[in-house]
Structure 1
């Protein structure tokens, strides 16, 4: 489908840089790019733990479908642990009418612990709990999935993703004043 929106899935362990990268990617792709953040849906909207069959899973899928249906490029960002989210992610990837891209930020445990300690959440969640949450190489094993060196800096990682995604035309008039 010509000019169909892109669907970009950006996953990785906690403190791997996903949120920062997704925000930079959204700015780079321009108006009409939705950033669907797992943590916002799960922790803020539903106040839900990350559990198998969680309500956030369907809400995320519905939001991705809606955003794409109105012509937005969509970034889905989060830990999105494979054992809970794999089926939903595979489904939205398979049904998406435009180009799809899946990236996994591979950051070693010690680096995520170092980053975690510098964040406000680091004071609330212990390093031991954080270690329990860490899942080594939690890829989706879908065709075309790209494993990124999550220790590279933001600019390098963003450039790799943009090169891989290719040309994306913003799906909204930048001069209309409607979008930030």
Structure 2
């Protein structure tokens, strides 16, 4: 790539559509775009609960910086509750060599719960537990943070993000090496 990589922070409550939007966004941005999912690192790689000062916070920061440092555009997506992740995200954003974009997918508790109950995790996590996870309007409070309506169609949301990015077209150094 002939430009500094973009950093896209995509946050929101559980069942707000972050993972779906991130996957679509990665497809739109093309080869050389890393999609870093908080849940994968926390739940699968480390098998860790989401706690203050959790080990996944540093792992996410290092992964974001590594991927950006080798020229990838980076999407970091997850609940990334501000009380646990704000300091790390603000540091990564401040140190990022290219454009940084922060999006928050806003969804009501009732809509998030409805979506949650239709997922496999809905069988494991009760509505009462889910309510404890939900943090309304959990913004980072960083400049230019954009709040998006999570009830909008995925395509509408991805188009809004692409527009905010300036509808970039990326050309990977060696497109043959990417899936």
> What TM-score, normalized by structure 2, do the two folds share?
0.97
1:146 paired with 2:146, answer yes
Moved over 2 A (4+): 167-171
Q: Which runs of 5 or more residues in structure 2 are unaligned?
A: none
Q: Is the 8 A contact 2:53 2:84 kept in 1?
A: yes
Q: Deviations over 1:15-59 (max 9, x none)?
A: 000000000000000000000100000000000000000000000
Specify the SS of the correspondent of 1:128.
Answer: helix
Q: Which residue of 1 aligns with 2:63?
A: 63
CA RMSD of aligned residues (A): 1.1
Q: Which residue of 1 aligns with 2:122?
A: 122
Q: Which residue of 1 aligns with 2:8?
A: 8
Q: Is the 8 A contact 2:10 2:75 kept in 1?
A: yes
Measure how far apart 1:12 and its partner are: 0.1
Measure how far apart 1:132 and its partner are: 1.0
Q: Which residue of 2 aligns with 1:179?
A: 178
Q: Deviations over 1:97-149 (max 9, x none)?
A: 10000000000000000000110000000011001110010000000000001
Specify the SS of the correspondent of 1:92.
Answer: helix
Q: Which residue of 1 aligns with 2:52?
A: 52
Q: Which residue of 1 aligns with 2:162?
A: 162
Q: Is the 8 A contact 2:107 2:150 kept in 1?
A: yes
> What TM-score, normalized by structure 1, do the two folds share?
0.96
State the alpha-carbon separation in 1 of the partners of residues 12 and 124 from structure 2. Answer: 20
State the alpha-carbon separation in 2 of the partners of residues 149 and 112 from structure 1. Answer: 12
Aligned length: 178
Taking a change above 3 Å as real, the CA distance of residues 83 and 171 of structure 1, as seen in their structure-2 partners, is farther
Q: Which runs of 5 or more residues in structure 1 are unaligned?
A: none
**Structure 2 matches for 1:65-144, cutoff 5 A?**
65-144=65-144
State the alpha-carbon separation in 2 of the partners of residues 145 and 84 from structure 1. Answer: 18
Measure how far apart 1:170 and its partner are: 2.2
Q: Which residue of 2 aligns with 1:24?
A: 24
